[in-house]
Structure 1
């Protein structure tokens, strides 16, 4: 049976709940992982997502900032929310699928800090936070999935485009936060240490360009097409043989009141 899991930085779930409903109607994911929900747990639009068919929800929110959620048509167990770098920012939630074709699989939903504008941790606290967050991801035993039969999926807005063709111009963005050599190296090390497989690039290798984010600052985002791949789907080696397809829902960037990110939909044949 196939399992479809989507990841999307929605940039305020309450502001864009109609957009979420439109996407769900079009793509019918089994699991939808959202980032930057920007609301406290008690303000999350549960009634709306239940109307979409998501009877099982895990939320980690905070007022006005950050926030992650997992919406599922299947049961959820072992819900965990972890803070990183000495902060309690709502940037992570993990669940285990209790039933369905991927029963027992662990899903980690992440929203890695953006890092501010200056790529120097000595003068930019936000960039130091980002690097420290990545350090703790790499050190966390729960994200070591490379050995054995662990069935795990890591998704989210990781706020780094690690490869040359994950951005419109690697040369011009070399010193821009999200594509600096240091960030690219650190995210690659997190994946390598954990033993993760980059599903999007396994199915669509370089040099093909892949983007999931287009800036609001562009007068015509589609014509300029200056995108970056900031949103990711990683699999444990035990799940990698189930890879069937990975789709970027680019058209959602042109919908009314869009997020600057678009959903990525991964399909596993289990």
Structure 2
């Protein structure tokens, strides 16, 4: 179930707890927890509802500007399909976040190596796990299509493979591309595989930027801003003037600053 960044942020904040979709049949089950950029989103209900019975209160709970706007949005794509009302709630942080930073002990390393070996043996295109980990280590924050081209793979199959590594906490998705986690680095070190010098250097101090979307991330990175502490040296107007930083990214950044006890320079 696709959700926009602004919708995810509103669910996490508790401002949105419903979504409406046109499906031929239900695609989600009650109790399902979906991973997202803001953490886990749990499905609390799935009900088929007639469009004529939708209410203004439900539209507000879904983050729509009005009941008319909700209906117009639902009629835009596949208007012949029935409408389903999906209850949503924020269910906490993605457990993979803690897993990525947990350096495995010897037994865990042996199990991870055995799992990677099984993936390589079952691949119809040959071994890929170590090459993928090494490439992400060498080229963090690089577009998936560019990484796939270097591997001689199509983008879709490359992303599917990286997703398997991410499930075990070996990689982390960024707004642009990926990076190797501490756990993934430990696997490469354990096997004596070459590591990027950049990955071995001490991380830049400070709090990483939240997920803002690729355009905003590119704009801030080009401006030398990769940590919240750096963003706090700028005014809201200076950040908003960067090409690619829209109202959502600016609001998301302001929220992240507040959570870290910071603010834009002109909002102290």
Please classify the TM superposition score into its range, dividing by the shorter chain length.
under 0.3
Q: Which has the higher contact order (CA 8 A, sep 6+)?
A: 1
User: In proportion to residue count, which structure has more helix?
Assistant: 2
Higher gyration radius (CA): 2
What TM-score results when the alignment is normalised by the length of structure 2?
Answer: 0.27
Q: TM-score, normalised by structure 1?
A: 0.27
